[in-house]
Amino acid sequence: MHALRAPREQLRRLAWFTATGLLGGGCDLHTKAWAEHTLAGRPGMSMAVIDPWLELSLSYNRGTAFSVIRDLGAGRWVLGVVALAVVVALVVILVRTRADRVDALALGAIAGGALGNGIDRVFRLAPGGGTGVVDFVKLNYPWGGSWPVFNVADVLVACGVIVLLLRRALDRSTHPPATAPSSG
């Protein structure tokens, strides 16, 4: 009975991971399509949600995160493959570690974000040619300026990473590593 329990638990974790990844990636792609459809016809391609702090503002990121590298061209295929490699690596981590359900959900969120932005980066046609990731959530600072425009995939990745880091930090604080006895 114990021999069957481990594979069954692993399947459950994999199911949570897969459901979270697919749901998250699907929500990301759906909200991007909604943003394109809704915001493209508005003046300035934006809409105030909580004026002046939060607005929806359509933009196309043709580069990497925070537009560090712009106009990737054929490099978008490389980043698309990297996104798939990230998902495979997350599955391996899930299967080979003692990940629990919360870890599976966090890893699934990261996978969903990687898939959403990876698919967008490779296939979404941007105005003026080329492809680009749709970003549309804009947080404005009270003192002026704003955080870089982002999307649901970015939130999924950030939340997944934060959950994993917090769990590891809390785990270390409640279960400090054992120290070797001193000889003397």
Quick check: is 121 in a domain?
Answer: yes
Three-state helix/strand/coil letters over the chain: CHHHHHHHHHHHHHHHHHHHHHHHHHHHHHHHHHHHHHHCCCHHHEEEEECCCEEEEEEEECCCHHHCCCCCCCHHHHHHHHHHHHHHHHHHHHHHCCCCHHHHHHHHHHHHHHHHHHHHHHHCECCCCCECEEEEEEEECCCCCECCCECHHHHHHHHHHHHHHHHHHHHHHHCCCCCCCCCC
**pLDDT over 90 at 91, yes or no:** yes
The pLDDT of residue 68 is 53
Quick check: is 178 in a domain?
Answer: no
Q: Which of 28, 103, 120, 154 is catalytic?
A: 154
Quick check: is 152 in a domain?
Answer: yes
103 counts as catalytic: no
Quick check: is 90 in a domain?
Answer: yes
Per-residue pLDDT reduced to its tens digit, 27-85? 999 999 999 999 988 888 899 999 899 999 999 887 666 555 555 566 677 788 888 99
Q: Which of 28, 103, 120, 135 is catalytic?
A: 135
Confidence of residue 107 (pLDDT cuts 50, 70, 90): very high
Quick check: is 93 in a domain?
Answer: yes
- Listed ranges 2-6, 16-20, 76-80, 171-175; the one with the highest mean pLDDT: 16-20
The pLDDT of residue 47 is 94
Domain that holds residue 158: 10-171
Report the domain count for the chain. 1
Quick check: is 34 in a domain?
Answer: yes
Note the pTM of the prediction, 2 decimals: 0.83
The pLDDT of residue 41 is 83
Quick check: is 139 in a domain?
Answer: yes
Quick check: is 184 in a domain?
Answer: no
The pLDDT of residue 3 is 46
Tell me the pLDDT of the chain averaged across its residues: 86
71 counts as catalytic: no
